[in-house]
Amino acid sequence: MLILGTASLSPCVSFPPSPKFPHPNPNLNHFLLSHPSFTPISLHPIQFPSRSKRLLSPNAPNFIVAASAKAEPLKVIISGAPASGKGTQCELITQKYGLVHISAGDLLRAEVAAASENGKLAKEYMEKEQLVPNEIVVMMVKERLLQLDSQQKGWLLDGYPRSSSQAAGLEDYGIRPDVFILLDVSEDILVERVVGRRLDPLTGKIYHLVYSPPKNDEIASRLTQRFDDTEEKVKLRLCTHHENVDDVLSVYKDITVKVNGNLTKENVFAQIDAALTHVVEQRKMNSRSVAA
């Protein structure tokens, strides 16, 4: 918290050092003392009952005590190829940081089920087995990101945007993340993960024949494989993904964090956690600078 003069630097306030009230900016006194018109005035530390209070001094103009601005919540986009572990990392991120998890696919299905205006428009294309236009999906995502919970808690946008045009659509609405997380997994590992996936049609749970096998023969006997979870088809999907993600990275290249996704989920999350912690600390520092 800083006391700011409403006029020029002369006269201003110099804070005496105090262990209970450390100086918020150790370089400030040096700067003020070097100013030719500076006249120091000592003020003893006091408690303020409200966010701001006007102080009067016979030797100085009025001062306003301003509380440090609260840092805005995190805004994160996470991207990764099929079987990159994105869903697992989204769960871990939301558990620690309390962000609102938003998946464009889930959002689209929910809008259609709710028969919203955007949902009705999307359904027309889906019934014709056509791709839903970017304009409709971007509008859905924008409206969800602007809802109160997303604004208060921050948001984690999962797997969207997937093209430069979708990213540009978000930019046009002034929506930009603090960080773009890219899960980087080698193709061999991705193929192994996809080909080994199995679905339990009774419970909807996903298993893997190597990494997460079923607990008993009864479950194993009813597991099914998605028609496109074959090596040939997954390589085609990966090729499309790589082309699209390169376009998206061109929009977010200055805020992209590449994460080694070949590791265990704990080690992958440790990398993500370190990146998000850095962003949070940087925002706190920026907030204090603004308040100063």
The yes-or-no answer on residue 162 being catalytic is: yes
The count of other CB atoms within 10 Å of the CB of residue 193 is 20
The yes-or-no answer on residue 176 being catalytic is: no
Find the catalytic residue in 226, 235, 258, 265.
Answer: 226
Distance between CA atoms of residues 35 and 257, nearest Å = 42
Find the catalytic residue in 75, 86, 144, 198.
Answer: 86
Q: Is 36 exposed, middle or buried (0-12, 13-18, 19+ CB in 10 A)?
A: exposed
Distance between CA atoms of residues 187 and 241, nearest Å = 11
Nearest in space to 31 (alpha carbons), one of 43, 18, 13: 13
Nearest in space to 155 (alpha carbons), one of 78, 93, 74: 74
Which tokens in the block code for residue 209?
Answer: 């024949």
Residue 242 backbone dihedrals phi, psi, to 5 degrees: -60, -40
Amino acid at residue number 138: V
The yes-or-no answer on residue 215 being catalytic is: no
Nearest in space to 273 (alpha carbons), one of 70, 72, 74, 80: 74
Which tokens in the block code for residue 275?
Answer: 């990146």
The yes-or-no answer on residue 86 being catalytic is: yes
Find the catalytic residue in 144, 162, 193, 198.
Answer: 162
Distance between CA atoms of residues 174 and 60, nearest Å = 43
The yes-or-no answer on residue 144 being catalytic is: no
Residue 184, strand partner residues:
260
Nearest in space to 140 (alpha carbons), one of 178, 166, 176: 166
Q: Where are the beta strands (DSSP E) in the chain?
A: 2-5, 54-57, 60-66, 75-80, 100-103, 155-158, 179-184, 197-199, 206-208, 256-260
Find the catalytic residue in 233, 237, 284, 288.
Answer: 237
| Residues labelled as active-site residues | 86, 162, 197, 226, 237
